[in-house]
């Protein structure tokens, strides 16, 4: 029996063991999705703090309930470890690690490279490896494949005539982009169709077979590169359209037209229009980052992606625009930003989650502090600002009391959490800058500026 036949048999019988590298916002829900279908999962992570929490059935991500983890742990279907020497125990290895940008806004694929080197060290015959991290087209074949093919064979009779592993025969390699949207009330890991691209036809068949067991639909494409490009297209589409609406917001503000009213009117058209909304800047692990992966790769082919880069420029400037509007509003009250007390509402990059990756709130704090403002924040889901790759503020969330609100010269709504009492905030604040249209239903808007 060939390695492919043996692996397909294990997959169809749910006896294949799944390994997830990276137990964050992508890897953890994916691992739990496999356990709900009866697969045994080992989660690997370098963060030693996560391991005992997960093995005790606890959660460190708000929208993932502890009960889901404890149920999988108690059923002996899930365990977390930092011991990567256990990789040979699993039949499928799915890599879900971060792909940030460096200080020059160029791809930082060090997490992929490091994971690839570890996998290569322990790779055994018959395993499937899938990369899910968002990246530029070519990463799977240009970065991971050479690492795995260099693996010396173990002396198996199947490959005795060759000195190294061969993709599609001795191991299988594919790319399948994650499509997580934390706290989405309509879709979850299992109900979002999965694009899959294999390095070979057999790689594609095996990878689709794995995801077919747990995902509502797999969408096979011709190559790993096509799958990598599909992920970038999805997020570039959003980035460009958000940039458009952000630019229109600035134009309509100058014309004294409410951009939110315009969007609501436009989206009544039943065809040819998808609503996008302005904000204080882009956040999350995809939209602020992924477009730059393509612009970087495109330079290798001597192509300038002007349209994508312009969208990135507009979106990057939004926090500065919000601060400019804040300064103008303060000036009308005879105050300056220098020395002003400012309260940021919301630290997460979108409402009702505790995810701070690339949150525009962090940039707003940076700009305000640089201009001499005294800055605090409130977020009911983030009690203390953790250190990030760029920022380390060491700030704690302040309580939203009548006394606290009234003590600030400016309250800036950056994230529109559902459980904020917006009438209460409006009533007791001296001045509110609303970047999310959160105060639209407040009766008295005399102290509110929509930015």
Looking at residue 144, the DSSP 8-state letter turns out to be I
Nearest one of 441, 389, 427, 430 to 407, comparing CA atoms = 430
d(CA 140, CA 200): 12
H/E run at residue 120 = helix 110-122
Distance of CA 402 to the CA centre of its chain: 35
d(CA 64, CA 54): 11
Nearest one of 37, 45, 34, 41 to 18, comparing CA atoms = 41
d(CA 158, CA 181): 42
Nearest one of 330, 410, 344 to 376, comparing CA atoms = 344
In total, the chain counts a number of residues equal to 451
> Which two structure tokens, joined as six digits, stand for 375?
């800055």
Known catalytic residue at 286: yes
Question: Residues 96, 203, 208, 286: which is the catalytic one?
Answer: 286
Residue 112 and residue 99 in contact, taking contact as beta carbons nearer than 8 Å: yes
> Which two structure tokens, joined as six digits, stand for 89?
């125990």
Going by C-beta distance under 8 Å and a sequence separation of 6 or more, which residues neighbour residue 216? Answer: 190, 191, 192, 193
d(CA 76, CA 72): 6
d(CA 324, CA 449): 12
Q: Could you list the active site residues?
A: 286
């Amino acid at each position: 029996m060939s390695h492919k036949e043996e692996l397909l048999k294990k997959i169809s019988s749910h006896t294949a063991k799944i390994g997830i590298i990276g137990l964050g916002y992508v890897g953890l829900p994916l691992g739990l999705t496999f356990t709900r279908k009866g697969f045994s999962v080992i989660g690997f992570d370098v963060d030693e703090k996560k391991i005992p929490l997960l093995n005790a059935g606890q959660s460190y991500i708000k929208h993932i309930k502890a009960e889901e983890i404890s149920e999988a742990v108690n059923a002996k279907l899930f365990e977390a470890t930092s011991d990567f020497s256990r990789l040979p125990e699993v039949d499928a290895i799915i890599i879900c690690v971060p792909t940030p940008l460096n200080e020059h806004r160029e791809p930082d694929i060090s997490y992929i490279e490091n994971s690839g080197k570890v996998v290569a060290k322990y790779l055994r015959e018959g395993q499937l490896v899938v990369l899910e991290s968002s990246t530029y087209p070519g990463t799977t074949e240009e970065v991971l494949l050479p690492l795995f093919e260099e693996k010396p064979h173990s002396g198996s009779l199947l490959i005795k005539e060759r000195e190294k592993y061969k993709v599609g025969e001795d191991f299988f390699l594919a790319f399948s982009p994650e499509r997580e949207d934390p706290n989405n009330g309509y879709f979850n890991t299992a109900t979002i169709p999965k694009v899959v691209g294999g390095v070979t036809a057999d790689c594609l068949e095996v990878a689709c077979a794995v995801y077919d067991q747990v995902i509502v639909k797999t969408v096979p494409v011709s190559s790993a590169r096509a799958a990598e490009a599909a992920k970038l297209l999805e997020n570039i589409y959003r980035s460009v359209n958000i940039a458009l609406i952000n630019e229109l917001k600035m134009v309509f503000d100058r014309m004294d037209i409410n951009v939110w009213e315009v969007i609501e009117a436009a989206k009544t058209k039943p065809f040819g229009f998808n609503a996008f909304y302005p904000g204080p800047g882009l956040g999350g692990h995809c939209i602020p980052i992924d477009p730059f992966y393509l612009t970087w790769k495109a330079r290798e082919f001597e192509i300038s992606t002007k349209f994508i880069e312009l969208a990135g420029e507009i979106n990057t400037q939004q926090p500065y625009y919000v601060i400019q509007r804040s300064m103008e509003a303060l000036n009308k009250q005879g105050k300056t930003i220098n020395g002003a007390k400012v309260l940021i509402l919301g630290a997460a990059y979108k409402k009702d989650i505790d995810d701070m990756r690339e949150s525009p709130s962090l940039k707003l704090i940076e700009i305000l502090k640089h201009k001499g403002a005294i800055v605090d924040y409130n977020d009911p889901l983030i009690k203390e600002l953790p250190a990030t790759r760029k920022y380390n503020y060491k700030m704690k969330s302040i309580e939203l009391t009548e006394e606290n609100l009234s003590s600030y010269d400016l309250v800036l709504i950056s994230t529109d959490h559902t459980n904020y009492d917006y009438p209460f905030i409006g009533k007791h604040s001296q001045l509110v800058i609303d970047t999310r249209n959160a105060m639209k239903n407040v009766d008295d808007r005399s102290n509110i500026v929509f930015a």
